[in-house]
């Protein structure tokens, strides 16, 4: 699925709520580094939910992950592309996965942002495997969720190493 799709702009996204969400409320329209802009959208979301109970936090992230499979597939179908760079819902969810056990504070939010972008861009194994072998909405979501797990593990190690 690589044929030319429709013109994507804010007006066309607003008419398609699933695509508007998949595009991170419009952040995916950024002409350069849409994934970074999509991850920036996750920062205020995380800031609002960082003090939720673990159960509530995980329930939201799981719901967003499952919804993301459908949202990303709908947007990819509309665009007639497998994994358009403007779809950034996966970055939002991946960052929230990354921050699951992070302590509160802007320093941890920044560290999570940097590490998550690092793993999402570099795509070490198995992130790269998921990116290449898993297709559709699940494929769009899975590589970012795995990048989020890598980040989660490093933040967990850092918090234990520094007794935070």
Full pLDDT tens readout for the chain, 164 residues? 445 677 888 999 999 999 999 999 999 999 999 999 999 999 999 999 999 999 999 999 999 999 999 999 999 999 998 878 999 999 999 999 999 999 999 999 999 999 999 999 999 899 888 888 988 999 999 999 999 999 999 999 999 998 86
Query: What are the residue ranges spanned by the domains of the chain?
Result: 23-161
pTM above 0.95, yes or no: no
If we measure between CA atoms, which residue out of 88, 89, 69, 79 comes closest to residue 139?
A: 69
pLDDT at 3 (0 to 100) = 53
Q: How far is CA 112 from CA 67, 120, 144, in A?
A: 23, 12, 13
pLDDT at 128 (0 to 100) = 85
pLDDT at 4 (0 to 100) = 66
If we measure between CA atoms, which residue out of 76, 84, 78 comes closest to residue 38?
A: 84
C-alpha 86/C-alpha 8 separation (Å) is 9
Q: Are 137 and 76 in contact (CB under 8 A)?
A: yes
pLDDT at 138 (0 to 100) = 94
pLDDT at 134 (0 to 100) = 87
C-alpha 41/C-alpha 3 separation (Å) is 29
């Amino acid at each position: 699925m690589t044929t030319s799709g429709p013109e994507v702009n804010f007006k066309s996204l607003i008419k398609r709520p699933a695509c508007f969400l998949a595009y991170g409320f419009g952040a995916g329209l950024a002409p350069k580094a849409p994934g970074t802009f999509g991850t920036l959208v996750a920062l205020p979301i995380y800031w609002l939910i960082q003090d939720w109970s673990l159960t509530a936090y995980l329930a939201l992230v799981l719901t967003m992950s499952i919804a993301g499979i459908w949202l990303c597939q709908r947007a990819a179908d509309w665009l007639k592309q497998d994994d358009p760079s403007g779809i950034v819902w996966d970055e939002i969810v991946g960052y929230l996965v990354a921050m699951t056990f992070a302590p509160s504070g802007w320093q941890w939010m920044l560290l999570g942002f940097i590490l998550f972008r690092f793993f999402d861009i570099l795509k070490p194994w198995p992130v790269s495997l998921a990116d290449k072998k898993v297709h559709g909405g699940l494929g769009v979501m899975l590589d970012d969720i795995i990048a989020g797990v890598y980040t989660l593990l490093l933040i967990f190690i850092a918090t234990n190493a520094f007794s935070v």
